[in-house]
A and B are shown apart, each in its own frame.
Chain A
């Protein structure tokens, strides 16, 4: 039995310990916001936070996250209670097909949690593990920069929410 915290809730599972976190979250806990893009750690569609760090969960065995805290896109914000990045995604009309966006936002949130005011190069470095086949990169960057203009407020929020 492997125990961990999923979006603040203590959960446990008895699946094969090699099963990637992505599939445990999607198929056992039925949270479908995190996506399957490559299954090989190459695209970032499956990005979640594991103890606050962005991880590619299609290659993270569930055994490796025992007793850790997992946040998925569902735990970051909801349509009625948007995380600032999600609001910026709407404001800057970032998503096209939208399939990569959960992963993009989770990667961006981990970046801002660690560094609320990143430079353009720092954004590139943090986000280049996430592919967007629709080509939303200019808008993703703009949306991250818009949120980071309010770095102090962001930092305070991340602390209140216990992500740092």
Chain B
């Protein structure tokens, strides 16, 4: 291995990004342009061979998980990858949530972020290599210390084995520290896996079942005060006047002041802050958004579709001619509403600023954003911001946006005390950022043999990405001034409106089927509501339109829904295979009288999924009894977590299918809490069967792909049950 000092580290990192060798055995000090010190716990006598692992004198193996744990089981998954090659049982590791450091970037993004169902896929080779290289060093050190050849040694769960003797890894760290790795250690073949692919338990289940897992809201630091923000009901409005007299007189209240998003109330306890916030009287600036209701959104989107002057996405073949020559054509329009993510843990962040040091505690999907944002607001150097990751009480994309960290920092700066900012559930549901509403229109044609030959699809609605981009810019480009950031953010919005489709907004609308003549058009219609990624992003609505339309086309072609899908997915063989397997399951199902089966399939986040929903309609109410999901996600690192992610995706998607939908009334969100923004509960939750088929590829996503097919599978079943083709979410019978 090349050992030229300055570039060595860079080289290693570059290769880490592409999944090759990594940083084991590398000194972290002494390089010129030295990287920041690792934010790891210093423990007397511990060996820290890289950013991910520490071996403690008592042979505890500490693992730093670089991806945010929001329930998707990534901590278990990543510990399994490193543990497989290090030869340590993931359940025996001391697991820590990593702080911010360049070594913790997500190889799929080049930033320290968690999302896009990417973590296992992105770290699959990297963390195994880290484990293998670390084990290699320990073996080499053991060989030296014991005076035997390394080939005479083996390992078993944290111990070096020699004949009938066992030595803890920790016995060799002193020697290991002086060694450096010559070449990447070989990885195990899949046939030798002992943890990957096994039904291991979750590493975080006991902490989460005993109330001892720490979430952002559980953080408590000395002299911490609580803040609640009084916010505008209509997005973007500034306070024109504030009367805080009676709020200030409330018990426990320390201070009331304006921040960029509203009026902050700081008190000794959250309860006091919340009570006092109700007494603050604000006159808000009036906004053009006040002219907008839910019906306005839909009307404006329809007008944009009718005008047809959007931005063209992918275009293939000659769509007009194909539609002309088709044996059957059919056109339909599908609607999906605005949604809130509503993770169970409301947004919160704890910030302490002391002279030129800041500490931030929260659970966030984008730790990379924290130092830059806090440094900018608190006016302290980026390297003086320490980030303490906690468990995330749900993410679903919502915790990729740093709005609460910005607010908490502003408040802590003015208050001069450590602050825990807590959003109420009402804030959560009404303030966004949201999953945008969408109106989608698809016109498709089949030939006389049931081949889809034309697919003309358009979507109108707000773009998903630019707001998130805007919120991360100040964090990622600390050298940019505020004016420049505003300029760049506006430029990106304008770009997506006029020149290019925001891929997140149209993904899933057109990719899965063979149709040789394809046109995708996007109309950005922005009413200035904040938007961001919501579990499965664009797929969360495009799959509903696409898979409903596919069922409609199958009917138009006079074909069975599964046969039609199989015939038209010849170019997407992995999807074709899950359709085939799911179709076989469906053929064997024998639903009771009055129950109907609906089918849908979708590819997202590199994973192929087909779902069958068993549905009945009783007294005008849609009831989902059972969902069978067939998926191919490549190597399932932990099959039980794959199943739980699919169960979760289906249930999250069913809430959106049956209930979800925010309404605007004069520019304000009407819903406010779980009484009028209901969630699926246990009594409505179906039995869910998950069938994992493995095509033998490396792992692909599982956190999101279970969600997209569920809405169309249910809608397709409702059609069979009632003859009503429901093309709007949430599904409501006439």
Q: Is B504 an interface residue (CB 8 A)?
A: no
* A139 to B682 alpha-carbon distance, docked (Å): 10
Q: Is B269 an interface residue (CB 8 A)?
A: yes
Chain A 28-48 interface mask (CB, 8 Å, partner B; 1/0): 101111111111101101000
- Interface pair B425/A134, CB less than 8 Å apart: no
> Which residues 58-109 of A have a CB within 8 angstroms of B?
72-74, 77-79, 82, 85-86, 89-91, 93-102, 105
Residues on A with beta carbons closer than 8 Å to the beta carbon of B647 = 135-136, 138-139
Residues on A with beta carbons closer than 8 Å to the beta carbon of B673 = 38-40, 42
By beta carbon, the residue of chain A nearest B684 is A128
Residues on B with beta carbons closer than 8 Å to the beta carbon of A6 = none
Residues on A with beta carbons closer than 8 Å to the beta carbon of B687 = 138
By beta carbon, the residue of chain A nearest B91 is A90
- Interface pair A130/B344, CB less than 8 Å apart: no
Which of B204, B342, B649 is within 8 Å of A98, CB to CB?
A: B204
Which of B202, B251, B393, B650 is within 8 Å of A135, CB to CB?
A: B650
Which of A16, A91, A95, A124 is within 8 Å of B682, CB to CB?
A: A124
User: Quick one: given A36-B346, A40-B674, A93-B201, are A124 and B683 in contact (CB under 8 Å)?
Assistant: yes
Q: A134-B652, A136-B647 are in contact. List 14 more A-B contacts (CB 8 A).
A: A33-B212, A37-B345, A38-B673, A43-B674, A90-B206, A93-B205, A95-B205, A96-B644, A97-B208, A97-B393, A99-B343, A99-B344, A128-B683, A134-B651
- Interface pair B271/A125, CB less than 8 Å apart: no
- Interface pair B212/A97, CB less than 8 Å apart: no
Residues on B with beta carbons closer than 8 Å to the beta carbon of A89 = 205, 208-209
Which of B206, B226, B344, B682 is within 8 Å of A97, CB to CB?
A: B344
* A135 to B425 alpha-carbon distance, docked (Å): 19
- Interface pair B72/A96, CB less than 8 Å apart: yes
> Which residues 124-164 of A have a CB within 8 angstroms of B?
124-125, 127-141
Q: Which of B154-162, B215-223, B474-482, B615-623 contacts A (4 or more CB under 8 A)?
A: B215-223
Q: Is B432 an interface residue (CB 8 A)?
A: no
Residues on B with beta carbons closer than 8 Å to the beta carbon of A37 = 344-346, 425
* A28 to B226 alpha-carbon distance, docked (Å): 13
- Interface pair B251/A39, CB less than 8 Å apart: no
Residues on A with beta carbons closer than 8 Å to the beta carbon of B207 = 79, 98
Which of A72, A74, A133 is within 8 Å of B342, CB to CB?
A: A133
Q: Is B313 an interface residue (CB 8 A)?
A: no
* A61 to B589 alpha-carbon distance, docked (Å): 51
**Cβ of A57 to closest chain B Cβ, rounded Å:** 12
List the count of A-B residue pairs having beta carbons below 8 Å apart: 194
The bracket for how many chain A residues form the interface is: 35 or more
- Interface pair B674/A42, CB less than 8 Å apart: yes
Which of B214, B344, B393 has most chain A Cβ within 10 Å? B344
Q: Is B88 an interface residue (CB 8 A)?
A: no
Q: Is A123 an interface residue (CB 8 A)?
A: yes
Q: Is B641 an interface residue (CB 8 A)?
A: yes
- Interface pair A99/B210, CB less than 8 Å apart: no
Residues on B with beta carbons closer than 8 Å to the beta carbon of A19 = 269, 271
**Cβ of A120 to closest chain B Cβ, rounded Å:** 10
User: Quick one: given A128-B681, A138-B687, are A36 and B217 in contact (CB under 8 Å)?
Assistant: yes
Q: Is B360 an interface residue (CB 8 A)?
A: no
* A101 to B212 alpha-carbon distance, docked (Å): 11
By beta carbon, the residue of chain A nearest B654 is A135
Residues on B with beta carbons closer than 8 Å to the beta carbon of A133 = 342-344, 394, 396, 652, 679
**Cβ of B624 to closest chain A Cβ, rounded Å:** 12
- Interface pair A77/B210, CB less than 8 Å apart: yes
Which of B220, B392, B641, B683 has most chain A Cβ within 10 Å? B683
**Cβ of B682 to closest chain A Cβ, rounded Å:** 4
Which of A38, A93, A127, A130 is within 8 Å of B641, CB to CB?
A: A93
Residues on A with beta carbons closer than 8 Å to the beta carbon of B213 = 98
Q: Is B606 an interface residue (CB 8 A)?
A: no
- Interface pair A23/B394, CB less than 8 Å apart: no
Instruction: For the complex of A and B, list the 5 residue pairs with the smallest distance between their C-beta atoms, beginning with the closest.
Output: A33-B211, A135-B651, A98-B208, A99-B393, A97-B71
Residues on A with beta carbons closer than 8 Å to the beta carbon of B343 = 97, 99, 133
Q: Is A116 an interface residue (CB 8 A)?
A: no
Which of A74, A123, A135 has most chain B Cβ within 10 Å? A135
Which of A39, A91, A125 is within 8 Å of B424, CB to CB?
A: A39
**Cβ of A60 to closest chain B Cβ, rounded Å:** 13
Residues on B with beta carbons closer than 8 Å to the beta carbon of A140 = 682
Which of A27, A42, A125, A138 is within 8 Å of B683, CB to CB?
A: A125
- Interface pair A32/B214, CB less than 8 Å apart: yes
Q: Is A52 an interface residue (CB 8 A)?
A: no
- Interface pair A130/B682, CB less than 8 Å apart: yes
- Interface pair B202/A93, CB less than 8 Å apart: yes
* A22 to B501 alpha-carbon distance, docked (Å): 47
> Which residues 159-210 of B have a CB within 8 angstroms of A?
201-202, 204-210
**Cβ of A129 to closest chain B Cβ, rounded Å:** 8
* A77 to B209 alpha-carbon distance, docked (Å): 9
- Interface pair A82/B682, CB less than 8 Å apart: no
Residues on B with beta carbons closer than 8 Å to the beta carbon of A105 = 209
Which of A40, A42, A102, A133 has most chain B Cβ within 10 Å? A133
Q: Is B124 an interface residue (CB 8 A)?
A: no
- Interface pair A102/B345, CB less than 8 Å apart: no
**Cβ of A124 to closest chain B Cβ, rounded Å:** 4
Which of A34, A89, A95 has most chain B Cβ within 10 Å? A95
User: Quick one: given A39-B424, A97-B70, A97-B392, are A73 and B210 in contact (CB under 8 Å)?
Assistant: yes
- Interface pair A131/B209, CB less than 8 Å apart: no
Q: Is B685 an interface residue (CB 8 A)?
A: yes
* A35 to B218 alpha-carbon distance, docked (Å): 9
